[in-house]
Amino acid sequence: MNTKCKLAVVSAALMFAAGSASAGCGKGAVAGGVAGHVAGKHGVAGAAIGCAIGHHSAKKKQAAANAAASTTPPAAAPATGTK
C-alpha cells in the first residue's frame, strides 16, 4: 500500500474514531504524518506522534480557557455620592 494512502487512512481513522474526545488529534496527525513522510518515510509514526501532541495542545488550550472563564471580575465599588 502506498505511503500516502496509509497516511490518509490513519489520519481519517484517528479523526473520526474517537470523535470529540480527541480534540486536536486530527490536525496534529495530519501535520505529523506529512512531517514524518518528508523526514524519511515515517508517515504513520509521525501521524501517531502528531496526534498525541495535538491532543495535548488542545487540552492545555481548553484548560486555559476554562481558567479564564472561571475567574470573576472584581465587583464595582458602590457609589458614595448623594444627589
pLDDT digits (tens, 9 = 90+) for 35-76: 988 988 888 888 888 888 888 888 899 899 888 888 766 666
Report the alpha-carbon distance of residue 40 to residue 3 in Å, rounded: 11
Grid coordinates of 32: 505529523
Helix, strand, coil percentages (3-state) for the chain, rounded to 5, are 75, 0, 25
Are 59 and 23 in contact, with CB atoms under 8 Å apart?
yes
Which one-letter amino acid corresponds to residue 44? V
Least confident of 3-7, 13-17, 42-46: 13-17
What global pTM score does this model have?
0.58
Q: How far apart are the first and last CA of the chain?
A: 83
